[in-house]
Structure 1
Amino acid sequence: MSADRKRGNNEPVDTGKTLDFFINGVPCTAYKGESVIQAARRAGVDIPHFCWHHDLSVPGNCRICMVEVEQDSGDPWFDIGCNMPVTAGMRVLTETDTVKKLRRETMQFITLNHPVDCGICNKAGECILQDYHYEHNGRASMSIDRKNHATKFFPLSDRIMLDNERCIMCTRCVRFTHEVSQSHALAAVHRGDHALIRPAEDANFNEDAYSDNVIDICPVGALLSRDNMDNARVWYTKATPSVCPGCERGCTINIWHRKPEWALKALDPQLNTRIERVTPLENETVNGPWICNKARDLATLLERPRATQAMVRGTAASLTEATAAAAALLAGARTAVALVSSWGSNEELAAFRDAFAGRLGATLTAYAKPDHLPQPGEIVEDAVLIKADKNPNLRGATAHFHLLPADVSAALAGADVVLVWGEGVDDAVLPMGAKVIRLDGFAHEHHARADVFIPLSIQTERSGHYTNFEGTVSPFVACFEPKAPVAHAEALFARLAGVVAVAEART
Structure 2
Amino acid sequence: MSQAERKRGNNEPVDTTKTVAFSINGEPCTAYKGESVIQAAQRAGVDIPHFCWHPDLSVPGNCRICMVEVEQDKGDPWFDIGCNMPVTEGMRVLTESDTVKKLRRETMQFITLNHPVDCGICNKAGECLLQDYHYEHNGKASLSIDRKNHATKFFPLSDRIMLDNERCIMCTRCVRFTHEVSETHALAAVHRGDHALIRPAEDANFNDDVYSDNVIDICPVGALLSRQNMDNARVWYTKATPSVCPGCSRGCSINIWHRKPEWALKALDPELNTRIERVTPLENPAVNGTWICNKARDLALLFERPRATKAMVQGMPVPLDEAIERAAMLLQGARKVVALVSSWASNEELAAFSTAFASRLGASLTAYAKADHAPQPGETLEDHLLIKADKNPNLTAAAARFPLLPADVTGALSGADVVLVWGEGVSQAVLPAGATIIRLDGYAHDHHAAAHVFIPLSIQTERDGHYTNFEGTVTPFTACFEPKAPVAHAEQLFAHLADTAATRRPAGVGA
TM-score of the two chains, using structure 1 as the length reference: 0.98
Residue 150 of structure 2: aligned partner: 149
Cα distance in structure 2, aligned partners of 1:149 and 1:41: 36
- Give the aligned residue type for 1:439: L
Shift of 1:503: 3.5
Matches within 5 A, 1:160-309: 160-309=161-310
Cα distance in structure 1, aligned partners of 2:332 and 2:100: 77
Q: Is contact 1:30-1:39 (8 Å) kept?
A: yes
Residue 446 of structure 2: aligned partner: 445
Cα distance in structure 2, aligned partners of 1:2 and 1:461: 37
Cα distance in structure 2, aligned partners of 1:236 and 1:409: 51
Residue 432 of structure 1: aligned partner: 433
Shift of 1:480: 0.5
Cα distance in structure 1, aligned partners of 2:132 and 2:492: 46
Tell me the secondary structure at the aligned position of residue 496 of structure 1.
helix
- Give the aligned residue type for 1:223: L
Cα distance in structure 2, aligned partners of 1:485 and 1:266: 26
Q: Is contact 2:358-2:365 (8 Å) kept?
A: no
Matches within 5 A, 1:23-62: 23-62=24-63
1:94 aligns with 2:95: yes
1:133 aligns with 2:114: no
Q: Is contact 1:2-1:288 (8 Å) kept?
A: no
Cα distance in structure 2, aligned partners of 1:123 and 1:3: 30
Residue 499 of structure 1: aligned partner: 500
Deviations 1:20-45 (A, max 9, x none): 11111111111111000001100111
Cα distance in structure 2, aligned partners of 1:197 and 1:231: 25
Q: Is contact 1:187-1:198 (8 Å) kept?
A: yes
User: Percent identity, aligned pairs only?
Assistant: 84
Cα distance in structure 2, aligned partners of 1:451 and 1:4: 58
The alignment yields a C-alpha RMSD, in angstroms, of 1.3
Deviations 1:387-441 (A, max 9, x none): 0000000111112111111211111111110000000001111112000000000
Q: CA, structure 1 residues 361+331, in 2 after alignment: closer, same or farther (shift >3 Å)?
A: closer
Q: CA, structure 1 residues 394+5, in 2 after alignment: closer, same or farther (shift >3 Å)?
A: farther
Cα distance in structure 1, aligned partners of 2:275 and 2:504: 41
Residue 509 of structure 2: aligned partner: none
Cα distance in structure 2, aligned partners of 1:412 and 1:375: 26
Shift of 1:123: 0.2
Residue 344 of structure 1: aligned partner: 345
Q: Is contact 1:438-1:454 (8 Å) kept?
A: yes
Tell me the secondary structure at the aligned position of residue 338 of structure 1.
strand
Shift of 1:150: 0.4
Shift of 1:167: 0.1
Tell me the secondary structure at the aligned position of residue 141 of structure 1.
coil
Cα distance in structure 1, aligned partners of 2:364 and 2:3: 46
- Give the aligned residue type for 2:87: V
Tell me the secondary structure at the aligned position of residue 119 of structure 1.
helix
Cα distance in structure 2, aligned partners of 1:201 and 1:73: 52
Deviations 1:429-461 (A, max 9, x none): 111200000000000000000000000000001
Tell me the secondary structure at the aligned position of residue 273 of structure 2.
helix
Shift of 1:2: 9.8
Cα distance in structure 2, aligned partners of 1:192 and 1:34: 30
Cα distance in structure 1, aligned partners of 2:375 and 2:8: 32
Q: Is contact 1:167-1:222 (8 Å) kept?
A: yes
Shift of 1:494: 1.1
Q: Is contact 1:396-1:467 (8 Å) kept?
A: yes
Q: Is contact 1:360-1:366 (8 Å) kept?
A: no
Residue 73 of structure 1: aligned partner: 74
Q: Is contact 2:344-2:393 (8 Å) kept?
A: yes
Tell me the secondary structure at the aligned position of residue 358 of structure 1.
helix
Deviations 1:271-290 (A, max 9, x none): 00000000000001100000
Cα distance in structure 2, aligned partners of 1:361 and 1:395: 23
Residue 113 of structure 2: aligned partner: 112
Structure 1 residue runs of 5 or longer lacking an equivalent are: none
Residue 103 of structure 1: aligned partner: 104
Q: Is contact 2:18-2:32 (8 Å) kept?
A: yes
Q: Is contact 1:6-1:12 (8 Å) kept?
A: no
Residue 376 of structure 2: aligned partner: 375
Shift of 1:74: 3.0
Q: Is contact 1:244-1:250 (8 Å) kept?
A: yes
Tell me the secondary structure at the aligned position of residue 257 of structure 2.
strand
Shift of 1:499: 0.5
Q: Is contact 2:5-2:13 (8 Å) kept?
A: no
Q: Is contact 2:71-2:92 (8 Å) kept?
A: yes
Q: CA, structure 1 residues 387+224, in 2 after alignment: closer, same or farther (shift >3 Å)?
A: same
Q: Is contact 1:436-1:450 (8 Å) kept?
A: yes
Cα distance in structure 1, aligned partners of 2:263 and 2:194: 41
Deviations 1:117-155 (A, max 9, x none): 000000000000000000000000000000010000000
Residue 9 of structure 2: aligned partner: 8
Tell me the secondary structure at the aligned position of residue 357 of structure 1.
helix
Shift of 1:4: 6.8
Residue 313 of structure 2: aligned partner: 312
Shift of 1:359: 4.7
Aligned length, in residue pairs? 505
Q: Is contact 2:456-2:487 (8 Å) kept?
A: yes
Deviations 1:194-213 (A, max 9, x none): 10000000000000000000
Residue 485 of structure 2: aligned partner: 484
Shift of 1:6: 2.7
Q: Is contact 1:256-1:275 (8 Å) kept?
A: yes
Q: CA, structure 1 residues 212+227, in 2 after alignment: closer, same or farther (shift >3 Å)?
A: same
Cα distance in structure 2, aligned partners of 1:269 and 1:254: 22
- Give the aligned residue type for 2:335: R
TM-score of the two chains, using structure 2 as the length reference: 0.97
Shift of 1:5: 5.5
Cα distance in structure 2, aligned partners of 1:3 and 1:102: 33
Q: Is contact 2:8-2:14 (8 Å) kept?
A: no
Tell me the secondary structure at the aligned position of residue 439 of structure 1.
strand
Tell me the secondary structure at the aligned position of residue 276 of structure 1.
strand
- Give the aligned residue type for 2:472: G
Cα distance in structure 2, aligned partners of 1:3 and 1:114: 35
Tell me the secondary structure at the aligned position of residue 63 of structure 1.
coil
Q: Is contact 2:5-2:12 (8 Å) kept?
A: no
Cα distance in structure 2, aligned partners of 1:167 and 1:32: 34
